[in-house]
Amino acid sequence: MSRIRLTYCIILVLLLDSAMAYAQPPYNGDIMDNVEFLSSGICEGRATGSKGAFEAAAYIRGIFGTANLDPLFDGGYTQSFPVNTENGTVIGRNIAGIFHGNNHGKYDRPYIIVGAHYDHLGMLEGKMYPGADDNASGIAILDYIAGQFAMNRFLRDTASRSVIFIAFDAKEYSMAGSRAFIDTLFSETGINDRMTGKKISADDIAFMINIDQAGSILEPIDDTHREYLMVLGSGCLEEYDRAMLDVTGRYFIPELKIGYDYYGSRKFTDLFMKLSDQASFINAGIDALLFTSGINFHTYKTTDDLSIIDRKALGMRAKYIYLYVERLTR
């Protein structure tokens, strides 16, 4: 199929679907509320193994429950795993739920994973590192997408793919959380889909989407677009899935500038693909994308707080990623 014909077909599908998608009640949660809570003193910077990280995990678990996601693990939403830190071994916690598509059979690989890490640096020398952009912003988008799926009753009945939503712990410890998830996925017991009664294998996963640092407008792609988003790793996608990235933005959120590399640098693009949880999936042979607004001069500083989050840009990015994932479940 030619590129022009493919794009035309995608536009038709999007336009025909859009009335149904937007007819559903909107997600009532304020996306900034999630950023505010996760970067507040209650969560104490969310260092893995800390009381603050426990509070953050409980908060995310509550949101997944409210969104009516089914628990992914046999014991519920939580996967616990050991993490070696400078202060000894602590317990990390991944939080994961699944939105079940009821029409499996259309795709050979009927699962998409959408993830973001929730841990950060915690308290260092008596100072809190809030981690609003890194990565309360990514979790806020993850929660927004889960909420939108929960409210879209039409999609629940027609989706041909299921979506696994996962909040990773311990990214700051060599991506220990996503590696623990991969280890379980490939283990003998594996991860079972309780609706289908089948074990989820790596071959069942179409690809993984990781959202990491997506809340600021401090490092725009160019001076004419303050609202932007970088999508790294799109070369791994099938032609339809890749074209959908462009069409979703162009026809539904045209004011959001989409870039497909890290500021025009192949070298830095390749580097950034190794620095967050998507790397664990790529290393395991699972295709993965990274959605990010890039690092900035507040990254890993105490000034990474709510004041550097741009509400408009965060909302646009959340909507864009939701629309992209939603279309790929059809």
The 10s digit of each residue's pLDDT in 249-275 is 988 999 999 999 998 889 999 999 999
28-68 confidence digits (pLDDT tens): 468 999 999 999 999 999 999 999 999 999 999 999 999 99
- Quickly name the fold that domain 3-328 has: Aminopeptidase (3.40.630)
199: left (phi over 0), alpha (psi -120 to 50) or beta: beta
DSSP state, 219? S
Residues in the chain with pLDDT values less than 70: 1-29, 103-104
Whether the predicted model's global pTM rises above the 0.85 cut:
yes
Residue 89 has a CB neighbour count (10 Å cut-off) of 9
List, as one string, the DSSP characters of 250-305: HHH-TTSEEESSBTTBHHHHHHHTTSSTHHHHHHTT--EEEEE----TTTTSTT-S
Per-residue pLDDT at 239: 85
